């Protein structure tokens, strides 16, 4: 084995989870380096929601102020049927009395903020682009990461450290090393298309809307940047989901086609949004299947562990994929800071996080927050209602919504902080 750097953490992957971990380790005084396969980290993707649980972590890492300046501060979460009728509305983030805001933000803005913070605090050499982790070897003294240069495809000198963390996403090589026979992802039967559209503010100007249901078509719509031009328009993120037997392999950046899904929303003309016109005005359209993997029986193997999508890829519902990766990162740093025996610390991190995230993976398959839409769709037979109270009670609504919040760890603010 190459000479070990006895106190350095090697992080395979420079996504949201890997960068959060690097910032948390730096705060704890623990040396680390990040290795990202992409030759250049670019502001890719579309929108993302940062719930109060994620924002509490990001605030502790000193990046909340910058994120709040870039994002839309979500005021409300609103549920509609496909006829434009309101099912339920509630405040979001600080507008619901939480200690931290809920932010709707472009994924590229979040990633760039974390990346800039890592480079400023840890130094430019702490993150290397164009370096792909292929395999991790270990002994009682440390780990060695076998890597390739993604620009040339050539093998490069192995990288030694004390421990390694696989933050390399849904196609994780580290996960595959320990679970080579895991098999393909589990398809939910729902495909999604995502895009961003330049549009004038609607509803509160900071509303997160879920509407319709998967059988006939469901939409999630929320603004992610304010005042993007002289017309005062916003950049608005949207997700279209439809039950379909056909899907392509998972790739967050695969281009999608309007012709494959837009017809499902042709009659969605609400008084606050013309959905067909809105979709067709999109700057870009991406396609991604709603897939996950069965929760793993373990994440940690001696001096190596998994984090974020590498550990617990989940169906992207409930705004929890990135949130759980962010929480993973600070939790792992806490354990490493409190226990000098780092293999034991990795096991303690797994004990704190694996059961929690496994439960979220399973809940996202069956009863995420938008399960409320399913209940109304089924009870009304996909017809307009005269009074939502005749369809579903407020108590049932609260049970669905609060049950998910409790599971993912979104705690309401103390009464004294709700001013």
Q: Give 223-268 pLDDT, tens digit per residue.
A: 999 999 999 999 999 999 998 887 666 666 678 899 999 999 999 9
- Contact status, residue 317 vs residue 337, Cβ threshold 8 Å: no
What per-residue confidence (pLDDT) applies to 211? Answer: 97
Averaged confidence pLDDT in the chain? 91
- Give 147-201 pLDDT, tens digit per residue: 999 999 999 999 999 999 999 998 899 999 999 999 888 888 888 899 999 999 9
* Cβ-contact 163, 143 below 8 angstroms: yes
Across 59-69, average pLDDT: 97
The dihedrals phi and psi of 104, each to the nearest 5 degrees, come to: -105, 120
Instruction: Please give the average per-residue pLDDT across 286-309, as a whole number.
Output: 93
Q: How far apart are CA 124 and CA 324, in angstroms?
A: 27
Say if residues 52 and 98 touch (Cβ distance below 8 Å).
yes
- Return the minimum-mean-pLDDT range out of 81-95, 229-243, 284-298: 284-298
List of domains in the chain: 9-46+108-184+294-366 (3.50.50.60)
Q: What is the DSSP letter of 271?
A: S
% the chain with pLDDT above 70 = 93
Q: What confidence category does residue 113 fall into, taking pLDDT thresholds of 50, 70 and 90?
A: very high
The pLDDT score that the predictor gives to residue 416 is: 30
Closest CA to 48 of 95, 106, 101, 127: 106
Residue 4 in this model has a pLDDT that exceeds 50: no
Residue 417 has pLDDT above 50, yes or no: no
What does the block give as tokens for 70?
Answer: 């870039």
Answer whether residue 288 shows pLDDT above 90: no
* 107: its two tokens: 């994924």
- Token pair recorded at residue 272: 């606050």
Whether residue 5 has pLDDT greater than 70: no
* pLDDT score recorded for residue 43: 67
Crossing angle between the packed helical segments 52-60 and 321-338, to the nearest 10 degrees: 40
Residue that is written with structure tokens 């330049």 in the block: 198
- Least confident span in 136-140, 317-321, 331-335: 317-321
Outline where DSSP puts E strands in 268-332: 282-292, 304-306
């Amino acid at each position: 084995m190459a000479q070990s750097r006895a106190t350095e953490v090697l992080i395979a992957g420079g996504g949201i989870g890997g960068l959060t971990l690097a910032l948390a380790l730096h705060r704890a005084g623990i040396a680390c380096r990040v290795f990202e396969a992409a030759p250049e980290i670019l502001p890719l993707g579309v929108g993302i929601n940062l719930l109060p649980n994620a924002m509490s972590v990001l605030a502790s890492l000193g990046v909340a102020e910058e994120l709040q300046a870039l994002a839309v501060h979500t005021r409300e979460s609103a549920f509609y049927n496909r006829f434009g009728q309101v099912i339920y509305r509630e405040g979001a983030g600080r507008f619901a009395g939480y200690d931290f805001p809920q932010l709707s933000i472009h994924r590229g803005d979040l990633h760039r903020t974390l990346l800039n913070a890592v480079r400023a605090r840890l130094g430019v050499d702490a993150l290397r682009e164009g370096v792909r982790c292929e395999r991790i070897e270990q002994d009682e003294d440390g780990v060695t990461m076998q890597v390739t240069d993604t620009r040339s495809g050539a093998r490069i000198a192995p990288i030694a450290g004390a421990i390694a963390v696989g933050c390399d996403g849904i196609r994780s090589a580290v996960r595959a090393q320990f679970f080579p026979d895991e098999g393909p992802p589990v398809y939910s039967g729902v495909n999604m298309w995502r895009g961003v559209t330049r549009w004038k503010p609607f509803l509160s100007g900071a509303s997160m809307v879920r509407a319709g249901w998967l059988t006939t078509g469901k939409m999630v719509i929320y603004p992610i940047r304010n005042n993007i031009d002289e017309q005062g328009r916003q950049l608005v993120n949207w997700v279209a989901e439809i039950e379909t037997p056909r899907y392509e392999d998972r790739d967050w950046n695969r281009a999608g086609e309007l012709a494959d899904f837009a017809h499902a929303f042709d009659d969605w003309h609400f008084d606050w949004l013309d959905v067909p016109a809105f979709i067709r005005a999109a700057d870009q359209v991406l396609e991604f299947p709603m897939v996950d993997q069965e929760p793993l029986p373990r994440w940690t193997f001696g001096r190596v562990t998994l984090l974020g999508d590498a550990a617990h890829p989940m169906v992207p519902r409930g705004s929890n994929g990135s949130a759980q990766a962010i929480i993973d990162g600070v939790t792992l740093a806490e354990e490493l800071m409190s226990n000098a025996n780092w293999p034991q610390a990795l096991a303690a991190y797994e004990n704190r996080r694996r059961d929690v995230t496994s439960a979220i993976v399973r809940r996202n398959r069956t009863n995420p927050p938008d399960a409320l839409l399913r209940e109304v769709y089924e009870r009304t037979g996909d017809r307009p209602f005269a009074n939502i109270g005749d369809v579903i009670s407020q108590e049932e609504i609260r049970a669905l919504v609060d049950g998910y919040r409790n599971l993912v760890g979104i705690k309401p603010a103390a009464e004294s902080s709700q001013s």
